[in-house]
Structure 1
Amino acid sequence: MIDSRPMDTFQPGDVLNNTYRIEAVLGRGGTSEVYKARSEISGRLAALKVLKAEFSANDDYLVLLTREEEIREIRHDAVVRYSENHRTQDGLVYLVMDYVDGPGLDRKLREGPMTAEDLLTICRRVSEGLEAAHKRNIVHRDLSPDNIILRNGDPAEAVIIDFGIAKDTNPGAETIVGNEFAGKYAYAAPEQLNGQTDARSDIYSLGAMLLANFRGTSPDVGKNPMEVVRKKGEPLDTSGVPEPLKTLIDRMAAPDPGARFQTAAEVLGYLRDHPPEAATDPDATVISPPPRAPDPAPAPKPAPPPPEPRKSRGGLVGLLVVVALVLGGVGGYLGGLFDGFLGPKYPLADPYALAVDKPADAPPRAIGHVPSEQTLAALRDLMADLSGTAELSLASGDIADSWGTDVMATLSELRNLDEWHMVLDGNAAQVGGETSDADLHAHLSRAFADGLPGALTGSADIVLVPVFLPAGEVNALLDRLADCGPLATPGVTAVGYGPQSAIRVTGRVAETATRIGLYDALSAIAGERTVIVDVEVLNPTLCLIESNLPKAPIGGIGIDFIVGDRNEPNPSGRFFVGENPIIDILLPADVTDGYLTVSILDVSGNVYHLLPNLNRQENAVAALRDGQDGPVRVRVAYSVDEAARNNRIGFTVDDSSLGKSKVIVLHSSTPLFDGMRPTSESASGYATALRDHVEDNRASILSLDSRILTTAAP
């Protein structure tokens, strides 16, 4: 726990949505805060991750939080369980997850070294959680001691938390907020510095973390940016680490991804063959014969090929780490340090890095190494001519003799683009840019058709960005991805979307994954435009029924939920496993005739008819009122006890199918169907019956009211 501050979003004692009472602050980050809270309904503890106010209206961050919510599909005790997102009346968005009580490995790291036996136990537990996540193509990307909590202080109950920057590993998937390197340098795998991440990156991070906690100190990643790159290419120093922990870390944290354990399952296999009991006490005096050489590691599997480059600024990833590393004021590093001793030979730079870029709405900048005074002067003059800045160091390196001339020739072609970048590691270069000028785009396409000038290797990715994004292009994408009826684009003009226009989408989708897919696909074509995916997420069953429901106005008929075993109102409509939902229909005073049809569309794909059904066939409003005037409450789902006594419908929530169900109330002037429907039936059967009825009796439908009922694990 940490002390509360007056500027925190919530204070202890605050109650969110009449459900969660804040007890303490657990952590603060750049975009969010985490609170310990207790449900006023169930009494259970939860951790709430709350987006700060300035981010709660930003769809980028909302989709990122939604991605984190999707990780609830990982069912494993070693992975923190997520529930779902909620929004307060003030518009703040928060994510509900399990509260895990215990110290983090970061605290254990500060307390000093841990035993090899405990670390082997933690490795097994965390690897099991990673295996479950990786099977769903989810990579953590930021595994470090502060993201592992030992529930009740027990290494065997380690839990992975904070999947906030986790990403899908399907080709082309990215984090939502930018495409920047996410992991912490101390624990990040070397390939993460180049924007390449897969399941093996998590395995590296776990190995680095085990070594840090064994020694009681974080890994040494160097004192300046260049050292970070160099050290990440070297094996971790595991001298003095006892077996089998030493070999485990060596094979988890090999700099080359192909030389590592390729999967969490392989790590678990090694642990099964080398149980914790085999670990030795490093402080004990042991007389033993010289150790035999460890079994040779299996031949490394080839690393998967990198994804195809995207036609946008996403192409910056790869060598952009060079930019990230030198931004910290490394312009003067090594610059002329040894000139007095070595004469004209400049200090050696490895890697030999240069990054020059011009953002769309900012001056250009050049950062890194150059090989000569002539190149230094030419590049400074170019930056000054464009009102930019240069932080450059003279250095020697493994580059071609024509390197400086080739770089300046490339930059002279790029300078007229709206935005551009050039990132070099030695002779290898990544070049990209955007323009709305078709003639300039054609010229550059010809100029770079055969590659980059001189000895530079790589290619140029110059993208033509139209001034207007055609509405037809957006609509075609929506038609392809829609899975719950048509999606709308309110506010679009006849000419499409201008450079500053927002792309807003409304409607319904069947799954959160569809919403994320919409956001990603639209962002890929949006350029600088804001993307707002304002859709209601249902499920496939609800979408099937929704597409066949009659078009009818809202009638003002209310739907109330009550927790049956406690007889308490449940305004949230959220029920946990083991609870007994009671459902009441509230008839307004002016609804005095006609017929009610009440059904619940279950998340599992079934429809349950609460009224009428074989055990309760009377559904005329007059009969339901039974002579009462004014508003009348009609119960359609009962407590389990009353259902058993009176042959009524009652049910409890089990964990076989959790999610959103929908209660639908249709008010019609005549009975909705010619005969009695079965108490339960498939969604497809009910959809067909609805469609057939509406075709013949459209005018008889007076109103349609509905409400979502959500079931969840406690």
Structure 2
Amino acid sequence: MIDSRPTDTFQPGDVLNNTYRIEAVLGRGGTSEVYKARSEISGRLAALKVLKAEFSANDDYLVLLTREEEIREIRHDAVVRYSENHRTQDGLVYLVMDYVEGPGLDRKLREGPMPADDLLTVCRRVSEGLEAAHKRNIVHRDLSPDNIILRGGDPAEAVIIDFGIAKDTNPGAQTIVGNEFAGKYAYAAPEQLSGQTDARSDIYSLGAMLLANFRGKSPDVGNNPMEVVKRKGERLDTADVPEPLKTLIDRMAAPEPDARFQSAAEVLAYLREHEGETDPDATVIFPLPRTPTPKAKPAPENLPQSAPASAPAGAPPRKSLGGRVGLILVLALILGGVGGYFGGLFDGLVGPSYPVADPYQLTVDKPANGAPHAIGHVPSEQTRAAMSNLMTDLSGTADLTMATGAIADSWGTDVMATLSELRNLEEWRLALDGNAAQVTGETSDADLHAHLIKTFADGLPGALQGSAAIDLIPVFLAASEVEAVLDHLADCGPLATPGVTPVGYGPQSDIIVAGKVADTATRIGLFDELSTIAGERKVVVDVEVLNPTLCLIESNLPNAPPGGIGVDFIVGDRNEHNPSGRFFVGENPIIDITLPADVVDGYLTVSILDVSGNVYHLLPNLNRQENAVAKLRDGQSGPVDVRVAYSVDEAARNNRIGFTVDDSSLGKSKVIVLHSEEPLFGGLRPTSESASGYATALKDHVETNQASILSLDSRILTTAAP
């Protein structure tokens, strides 16, 4: 569950269509929100996926939600059960599905590595669900840890959710994303980057997801599109994965679709064939080839032994070869010193012999706000003990395997020296392949950062080959960094950042953006760009999505306070008040302007800015030129309603303005009410004109008559398909 926000479409306690009472928010996305709700009739829990208001009238997104509803035909316990779509009285569309209680694999991923046996169980269960979906020509296209929930925490009860971008593979079938990329980069199959998707893409995504949860770390796909494309063409690194999970992932996630398992049924067949092969008690995370210890070679027959008994008299005695070998060993011990001891060089002489590891790998990392973990190969008991003790001191864990390999004598000492320098960083990682090492880390401590930069200036300790990249992360995010993003993307006037302090955003501060934008793409762009600089901070883009026409006018409106003048909507054919301001195709909007009791003089100018890019002047206009407040009141005191858009019948009888909603221009329009001391523009505007023409006239008038404008009030009218 996540905390509710005032900007959410629904709040806990709201009841939809007299049936579903909202209990909590489960998630938020770019186009929809998901809520936990309970049926007031049956008491059954359900999950409601609600299209955001700006998408509920968009045919493309409605088609997409309808496609998701049709997935209810898939009857399998491993696929979330869908019910049907509904529309609220305000025109919001939502989809009802089963509520699945349990952690998602994304939460398990954050908690750390999962056992191989559990992942094999998850694979079996999810593959069964995919088989059922694929039989109906439905490809998920977005399989990732956040789309798999373990009902009750049980891997055997995994459930696939969120078929929001699923695609029917029948000829001619479409989704809103068409053939464009769909899915998350980290888990998407390589062919999805070029718009090619079939059942094998889901198999790849499942394999990548299994590997991520085995390691407890999301895949690193690069920092830019070129890196993403390059890495997607490479095989996943499964060197540390035990069998049979390793081969399973290798065959599921091959870069070339033809090299993968070709169906979920083939995955299930592999699992049945290798059932029970994983040792549940095994603690070895890195499987090693059990290379037999080489037998000692027999001494060559012509190897000289001791000096012959018939040596010439008086000749100096010859030293035996064994004595020379002993001297060499002593010199080697002296030269090797402690490095050879920690490196395991002499284990073959004085202790146990370990199997050979190739490649010889070790990874030790500490995530931000998490515990460190060491996994991989070490050359000696001394190194394993030292590293395990360090992990214990840091409240971390270690899965270390004893092995010999192509490493320097001082490898163990050098690794421990590196870790001792890294231990105080907030986040760090040491990855080794033989003597090649890569070190990364982050800290907000400037002194520690300077110390480490100096320490690693000439490279890593001892024989380790590589470099260290330690980043200094400021405690506060500067407000200027956020403002630069806002300035870059603002397309409907300035955007505000409520709550920002003079020093910027602290580690726990939310980055909140308020204001207006021209379209949904801008809002999504704001969220994406701010997320790249936010770190652990939440990003809340609480903006009103208008359209280019409204934004053009918004930027030229006078700077005037609201005057309390109301704008009320009525459905003409039913004479019903419409508090939502949402009208559907075929309906007749009636618009009333309510004058407060204290507005008794001056002039009213009322216009509606159409989503199609036109402006209609409701008052005054050629057929209704009187707009003086005193005349409009007609002697009445107190609040007075002034009708400016009529029913179609009355408009025809009295030569007034009236209209019905058609499907040629659906979206948001805006009613603007200006109250001024004198008539605006010095004369009548045409009844309708282009938004750009009106914006120019308004700008020119405001520049010389700003003081005469007393107030500005407005309200959105939304038109939508039923």
| Fold match by TM threshold 0.5 | yes
Structure 1 position 339, deviation (Å): 13
Deviations 1:17-68 (A, max 9, x none): 7864335999996885456999xxxxxxx98337xxxxxxxxxxxxxx9799
Identify the match of residue 600 of structure 1 among 592, 596, 608.
608
Equivalent in the alignment of 1:488: 496
Identify the match of residue 395 of structure 2 among 354, 375, 388.
388
CA-based RMSD: 5.7
In 2, distance between residues paired with 1:397 and 1:67? 62
Equivalent position amino acid for 1:691 in 2:
K
Structure 1 position 545, deviation (Å): 1.4
Deviations 1:362-385 (A, max 9, x none): 55343455454233112112223x
Q: Go from structure 1 to structure 2 and tell me whether the alpha carbon gap of 1:638 and 1:676 turns closer, same or farther (over 3 Å shift).
A: same
Q: How does 1:548-697 map to 2 (within 5 A)?
A: 548-697=556-705
Structure 1 position 534, deviation (Å): 3.9
In 2, distance between residues paired with 1:71 and 1:459? 55
Deviations 1:543-594 (A, max 9, x none): 2212211121211111111222332221111223333322211122222222
Deviations 1:195-252 (A, max 9, x none): 4499xx9xxxxxxxxxxxxxxxxxxxx9x9745861454335xxxxxxxxxxxxxxxx
Structure 1 position 531, deviation (Å): 4.2
In 1, distance between residues paired with 2:654 and 2:415? 85
Equivalent in the alignment of 1:418: 426
Equivalent in the alignment of 1:256: 255
Identify the match of residue 122 of structure 1 among 137, 140, 164.
137
Secondary structure, counterpart of 1:478 in structure 2: helix
Structure 1 position 595, deviation (Å): 1.6
Contact 2:147 2:161 in 1 (8 A): no
In 2, distance between residues paired with 1:111 and 1:167? 18
Structure 1 position 706, deviation (Å): 0.8
Structure 1 position 488, deviation (Å): 3.3
Equivalent position amino acid for 1:122 in 2:
N
In 2, distance between residues paired with 1:184 and 1:119? 10
In 2, distance between residues paired with 1:579 and 1:454? 80
Contact 2:13 2:21 in 1 (8 A): no
Deviations 1:50-101 (A, max 9, x none): 7xxxxxxxxxxxxxx979969968558455489xxxxxxxxxxx99545489
In 2, distance between residues paired with 1:75 and 1:430? 45
Structure 1 position 664, deviation (Å): 0.8
Secondary structure, counterpart of 1:235 in structure 2: helix
Identify the match of residue 521 of structure 1 among 512, 529, 543.
529
Equivalent in the alignment of 1:250: none
Structure 1 position 596, deviation (Å): 1.2
Equivalent in the alignment of 1:48: 48
Equivalent position amino acid for 1:472 in 2:
S
Q: Go from structure 1 to structure 2 and tell me whether the alpha carbon gap of 1:333 and 1:529 turns closer, same or farther (over 3 Å shift).
A: closer
In 1, distance between residues paired with 2:377 and 2:649? 79
Q: How does 1:89-238 map to 2 (within 5 A)?
A: 96-97=92-93, 99=95, 119=134, 122-123=137-138, 142=147, 146-148=161-163, 188-190=206-208, 193=212, 194-196=219-221, 226-227=242-243, 230-235=246-251
Equivalent in the alignment of 1:538: 546
Secondary structure, counterpart of 1:548 in structure 2: coil
Contact 2:286 2:377 in 1 (8 A): no
Q: Go from structure 1 to structure 2 and tell me whether the alpha carbon gap of 1:360 and 1:156 turns closer, same or farther (over 3 Å shift).
A: closer
Equivalent position amino acid for 1:256 in 2:
P
Structure 1 position 439, deviation (Å): 4.4
Equivalent in the alignment of 2:364: 356
Contact 1:365 1:388 in 2 (8 A): no
Larger Rg over CA atoms: 2
Structure 1 position 707, deviation (Å): 1.0
In 2, distance between residues paired with 1:631 and 1:694? 28
Q: Go from structure 1 to structure 2 and tell me whether the alpha carbon gap of 1:145 and 1:508 turns closer, same or farther (over 3 Å shift).
A: closer
Secondary structure, counterpart of 2:558 in structure 1: coil
Structure 1 position 443, deviation (Å): 4.4
Residue 720 of structure 2 corresponds to residue 712 of structure 1: yes
More deviation, 375-384/549-558: 375-384
Q: Go from structure 1 to structure 2 and tell me whether the alpha carbon gap of 1:17 and 1:30 turns closer, same or farther (over 3 Å shift).
A: closer
Contact 1:545 1:683 in 2 (8 A): yes
Secondary structure, counterpart of 2:419 in structure 1: helix
In 2, distance between residues paired with 1:600 and 1:341? 87
Structure 1 position 704, deviation (Å): 0.9
In 1, distance between residues paired with 2:391 and 2:57? 46
Secondary structure, counterpart of 1:579 in structure 2: coil
In 2, distance between residues paired with 1:575 and 1:695? 36
Structure 1 position 497, deviation (Å): 4.0
Secondary structure, counterpart of 1:583 in structure 2: strand
In 2, distance between residues paired with 1:697 and 1:502? 41
Equivalent position amino acid for 2:636 in 1:
Q
Contact 1:79 1:161 in 2 (8 A): no
More deviation, 566-575/475-484: 475-484
TM-score after normalising by structure 1: 0.60
Deviations 1:501-526 (A, max 9, x none): 55444333333333333344334334
Structure 1 position 110, deviation (Å): 7.3
Contact 1:335 1:347 in 2 (8 A): no
Q: Go from structure 1 to structure 2 and tell me whether the alpha carbon gap of 1:17 and 1:580 turns closer, same or farther (over 3 Å shift).
A: farther
In 2, distance between residues paired with 1:413 and 1:333? 26
Equivalent in the alignment of 1:464: 472
Deviations 1:598-647 (A, max 9, x none): 11122333222222223322222233233333322222222333333433
Contact 2:242 2:285 in 1 (8 A): no
In 2, distance between residues paired with 1:30 and 1:347? 49
Q: Go from structure 1 to structure 2 and tell me whether the alpha carbon gap of 1:564 and 1:260 turns closer, same or farther (over 3 Å shift).
A: farther
Equivalent in the alignment of 1:320: none
Equivalent position amino acid for 1:683 in 2:
A
Contact 2:585 2:660 in 1 (8 A): yes
Q: Go from structure 1 to structure 2 and tell me whether the alpha carbon gap of 1:677 and 1:160 turns closer, same or farther (over 3 Å shift).
A: closer
Q: Go from structure 1 to structure 2 and tell me whether the alpha carbon gap of 1:465 and 1:378 turns closer, same or farther (over 3 Å shift).
A: same
Secondary structure, counterpart of 1:551 in structure 2: coil
Secondary structure, counterpart of 1:234 in structure 2: helix
Equivalent in the alignment of 2:77: none
Structure 1 position 674, deviation (Å): 1.6
Structure 1 position 389, deviation (Å): 2.4
Identity %, equivalent residues: 59
In 2, distance between residues paired with 1:329 and 1:606? 73
Q: Go from structure 1 to structure 2 and tell me whether the alpha carbon gap of 1:334 and 1:471 turns closer, same or farther (over 3 Å shift).
A: closer
Q: Go from structure 1 to structure 2 and tell me whether the alpha carbon gap of 1:427 and 1:341 turns closer, same or farther (over 3 Å shift).
A: closer
Equivalent position amino acid for 2:251 in 1:
P
In 1, distance between residues paired with 2:284 and 2:61? 51
Q: Go from structure 1 to structure 2 and tell me whether the alpha carbon gap of 1:333 and 1:340 turns closer, same or farther (over 3 Å shift).
A: farther
Equivalent in the alignment of 1:374: 382
Equivalent position amino acid for 2:255 in 1:
D
Q: Go from structure 1 to structure 2 and tell me whether the alpha carbon gap of 1:67 and 1:467 turns closer, same or farther (over 3 Å shift).
A: farther
Equivalent position amino acid for 2:250 in 1:
E
